[in-house]
Structures are given as C-alpha cells and as structure tokens.
Amino acid sequence: MQLKRSRKVAGKIDILNLGDAALLLDFRQSVDPLSGIHHLCDLLFSVSPGWLKDTIPGIDSLLISLHFADTDYQATRAAARAQIEVLLESLHKDKKVTIKNEIVHRIRVCYDPELAPDLLASAEKCELLLREFINRHKNSEIRVDILGFMPGFPYCSGLDPSLRLPRLESPRTAVPKGSVAIAELQTGIYPKPTPGGWNVIGRTPDILFDPRNERPSLLSPGDRLKFIEIDLNEFNKITLAQEAKASQQKVSSISKNSTIEVLSPGLLTTIQGQPRYGFAHLALSAGGPMDKESARLANALLGNPEDVAGLEITGTGPKLLFHQNTWVAWVGAQCLGLIDGQSFPGNRPVYIRKDQILNFTSMTQGYRIFLAISGGIESEFILGGRGSHLSAGIGEKAVQKGDFLYLPQAHLAQEKSLFKNLNHSGLNYPKWSIASPALPGKSIQMIKAIPSIHFNLLSSTEQALLWKTTWSVSSQSNRMGMRLDSDFKISKPMTGIASQGIWFGTIQLPPSGQPILMLAEHATTGGYPRLLETISSERSSLAQLRPGSKIQFVPVTLEEADQINTIYFTEQEKTLDTLEAILLDKS
C-alpha cells in the first residue's frame, strides 16, 4: 500500500503518484523550490501536453492533475512522468533560464484606520510608529509565492522581518474585499469578502480576480508586488467609479425571453455546466456538477451537448413553472417528478407543456439530482464554462424565488427521432429508463480510497483504526467539502506541513481531528496532512451522501483503483453510446 516513487531527477525532485488522477512533485530538496516550481509551471503551460489537466503550485511541491483520454491509465502516467523528467532536466541544465514571471504589479493601498481595523494595533505590537510601520510594509520586496485560499488570493513573501505578526486569536466573520493583511511573515490581499484571521493593515481598490477577463487573476505565482500608498479620498473615488461601471454591465446583461419561472427554490438549486479545468494555479477549483456522471447522462437523455447548463438540485427540489413546451430529464437520487401533481418517473426523458408546474417528491435514496432541459439553460460563458461556482462568486448565485431561467433552444430535442415518435404517439415519456451512476443502498456506504502522502505519519494502530472507523457526514458540509464526524483520534498532532495543492477527493486532517473531504468547489491549497485520496469512480457516490450518512473507507492500491475505474467508466460510456443510438432511432 506504499506510494511508488520514480527515480530522482535533476535537483533531487521526487515524482509521486497522488491518488489515481494526479502526480505530486516534491521540491523540498531543491536549492530554490519556489523558483523551480514557477519555472516548471511556465514550461508545462507553454508545451501544453495532452495529459495535463491542471497544476497547483505549493510552497515546496507542485500538484499536476492528469487528463486521461482513455482507460490506459498507466500509460498516461508514464508519459506524463517521462515528459516531466525531461523538462526538469532542461531546467537543471539551463542555468540562465529566462524568468517569465518577473512581472512587477503596482498595487494601490490605502493605509487608513477607517479601512484597516488592525493597523494601529499592528504598529503597536511591532513597536513602531504608525508612519514607520506603513513605510516598512510598502517598501518590502514582495513576491507572490502561491495563490490559494480563494481565487486570486496571493500568499506573498519578502515582508520586512520587523512586521511579523501572529494571526488573530478570533478570526473575523467577514473581511472586506481588497483588504491587505499580514500573518506571520506573509502578506496577502483578500480578492472578495470572506471570513479571515489575518491582521488587516490596509485596503486596495485594485481588482485581483475578475472571471470575465481573459487573464482572470491579476497576480500569478512568481510575480513581484510594489505597494503604492493612496489616501482615503483617492480610494473612495476609484471604488465609486468601479461600482458605477459594474452596475451598467449588470443592467446590460438582463434578458427578457424568460421561459421558466422559479416559484420556490428548494434547499439549494444551482445552475451547473461542465467543470472549469485549467485555472487551479490561480486558486480556482474546477467546480461543476457534484455528480458529474449524472449530469452527463441527464443531458444525453435529451441529446444535449455535454457543455450545456442544467440545474443541480440538492436535498429538497424547487417548484418550476414552465412558460414553454419542452423535454426534461433528471438523473441521480431516487425521486419522482410531479407535473401539476401527477407523478412521473425519472432517469428518462419527460415531456412538459407550457404553463405546467414541475416539482419533486422527497429523495428516498441519494441527495442530489441533475435536471437537464432541452437545449440547456442560458448561462454566461465564463472561463470556458457555464453555470455557478458559488465559493468563487462566478456565474449566477443559487436559484431564488422569482428568478427566470432562459431556454434559448427549448425545441432542440424535437429534432431527434425518439421525441418525434413519442409526441406523435401522445406519450409523455418512454417506458425504458437508465440507472443512476451511484445510489447509497446500504446503512454504511463503503468508499474506496488510496493512502496519501502523509498516511505513514500515523502509527500502525492509528492506520488500522482509520480504516475501521465509521464516519458520519456533518451538517457543516457543502459544495466545497464534506466534514466527517467520528471518535477517531490521533496521539499527537502532525505539524510542519507546508501548504500544497489539494484535489477533489483529498481527505485532510485539521487540528480539530474532524477530517475534510474535498468536493467540487474545494480550496486548491491546504497545509493540513492529507491522509487519503478517494478514487475517481467514487465521485458520484460522494455526491449522493447527505448529512448524517454513514461511510467507511476501504483501502485499495493504485492498480486496483485503475481496474475499478476502468469497469465503472466503461459502463458509463456504453450507456451514453446506447442513448445516442436510441435518440437517433438506430436501435
């Protein structure tokens, strides 16, 4: 069950298998880890190999997520490892490598107590006069080490050592957008409002992350910062101009051709398209449907392209009034649809007429369904995808009462032979149905996982207990992560772990002892020990777990994971091929 390592390459950099879908490059023995990580990222983006899905720089490591074009997983890993070793060797030999990231950003900062609640106290803690504290901060030679915590948030080094400050004893529930802050010997900037425990000593009006820009993050790992002091009047003038511009853009984007009206939103209903891969190095996780396979099947039932947006429905479903005839399909948890009070089965296409109301019965098995609608829901195309990323503030917010959803191609399904025949026969749905990718069928759901890189920091007794423990899904879980409750305890905390990339399915152990399992909108970096990596084919099972669900982890090797994944994803592809044939009346 131990992780396999490749041979060490130039600069004593190990390449580790991380779960079944990623590699982790260990730069701890490198002379300048961050420089090597930044340079390798530049090379990977310039080469753009077919196996590369995403990269996440850490303080002394680089996570590389892999794209598998087929089920020959070993071949893809071998190709990736071989090309990475070549790139590392070229960096080692080329001592005069051009530094692409030597970009200097001039960040305007207002150091005013009205905007910086910790400024005066911070200067006092550092035993400096206020003016001297400000001067030392703005004159520090700052470099962006990594982006993490949230999209566009820079963890920066180079702070004057005299400005070292501990984190706040009680983190704030809300830190304003643009807050410039210090924690220990790092300085950072909050791109959006969020809870936080750093000392806020200023605020910038500059926008650090705008998903509508071609380059969404102002900053990248390796960039340099120069803080330019501005006064409160200038800060207010800049922010007022930005707010006026944003208001104009919002008004101009409103459409009038509504076709679905939300009468009630349910517990949590969001517009979701395909995951947005390729931006994890900017601290933006892929997001997308929690149950990606159910979304693919629901769209396939209608003949939709895979990249159209639909509704992810969690827990309790919405009530939707349709203003246009169309076909819909929902896949995932077990529940019935109610159209004007009449029951309709799921996991197949269903016809709904203008002025009819659709809602859903309770989900008896599972926790989420994906509702696809013919032609998809209109949603702004941002960063290569459609739909919401709630934690990053991208796309539409959760669906609310009174919202209108727009269907630009509601008649798309009618072009398929199946739907023409059903309409001609006066049928609202076919007799056949498909199976959901995963449904919890036992009192304890068994989730397969591979030991991760810090698993061996546990004692042998703790390792055995980890596998035997029955975990309960906490009510504090969301689209970012799943907290797990149990009586599991470790004898002593695991410390000294530098922040590194994390991925969907990573299980971290924070000091509270309550593990966190990363989900669709996970943070991209974390400094807690990572104990397990759930395998790729468990994603649908994880999406169907509700608060209170019981799970137990089952250890598998990488080879076993590949076999399990091959069987699972091959079956999904067969179902998709069958649906395509049925819709075209080929079978």
Residue by residue, pLDDT tens for the chain (587 residues) are 333 433 333 458 999 999 999 999 999 999 899 999 999 999 999 999 999 999 999 999 999 999 999 999 999 999 999 999 999 998 887 755 554 547 899 999 999 999 999 999 999 999 999 999 999 999 999 999 999 999 999 999 999 999 999 999 888 999 999 999 999 999 999 999 999 999 999 999 999 999 989 899 999 999 999 999 999 999 999 999 988 887 766 544 444 456 899 999 999 999 999 999 999 999 999 999 999 999 999 999 999 999 999 999 999 999 999 999 999 999 999 999 999 999 999 999 999 999 999 999 999 999 999 999 999 999 999 999 999 999 999 998 999 999 999 999 999 998 898 999 999 999 999 999 999 999 988 799 999 999 999 999 999 999 999 999 999 999 999 999 999 999 998 888 887 789 999 999 999 998 888 899 999 999 999 999 999 999 999 999 999 999 999 999 999 999 999 999 999 999 999 999 999 999 887 54
User: In terms of Cα–Cα distance, which of 303, 305, 343, 307 is closest to 326?
Assistant: 303
Please give the Cα distance from 234 to 245 (Å, whole number).
Answer: 17
Numbered ranges of CATH 3.30.1360.40 in the chain? 14-93
Numbered ranges of CATH 2.40.100.10 in the chain? 104-251, 444-556
User: In terms of Cα–Cα distance, which of 563, 454, 439, 437 is closest to 507?
Assistant: 454
Indicate the angle between helix axes 73-93 and 33-47, nearest 10 degrees.
120
CATH architecture of 444-556: Beta Barrel (2.40)
Please give the Cα distance from 328 to 307 (Å, whole number).
Answer: 16
Structure tokens at 543: 């999406």
104-251: CATH number:
2.40.100.10
pTM of the model: 0.91
Q: Where are the alpha helices (DSSP H) in 469-557?
A: 539-543
Three-state DSSP state, 416: coil
Structure tokens at 511: 């000091």
**Which residues are within 8 A (CB) of 135 and not within 5 positions of it... i.e. 6 or more apart?**
none
Strand pairing partners for 140?
Answer: none
User: In terms of Cα–Cα distance, which of 392, 294, 299, 169 is closest to 583?
Assistant: 299
Please give the Cα distance from 319 to 371 (Å, whole number).
Answer: 12
Residue range 14-93 in CATH 3.90.400.10: no
Contact 138, 229 (CB under 8 A): yes
Q: Where are the alpha helices (DSSP H) in 410-531?
A: 417-424, 460-468
The angle at the Cα of 437, spanning 435 to 438, to the nearest 5 degrees, equals 105
pLDDT recorded at residue 235: 97
Please give the Cα distance from 67 to 264 (Å, whole number).
Answer: 39
pLDDT recorded at residue 9: 39
**Which residues are within 8 A (CB) of 53 and not within 5 positions of it... i.e. 6 or more apart?**
65, 66, 67, 277, 278
Three-state DSSP state, 206: coil
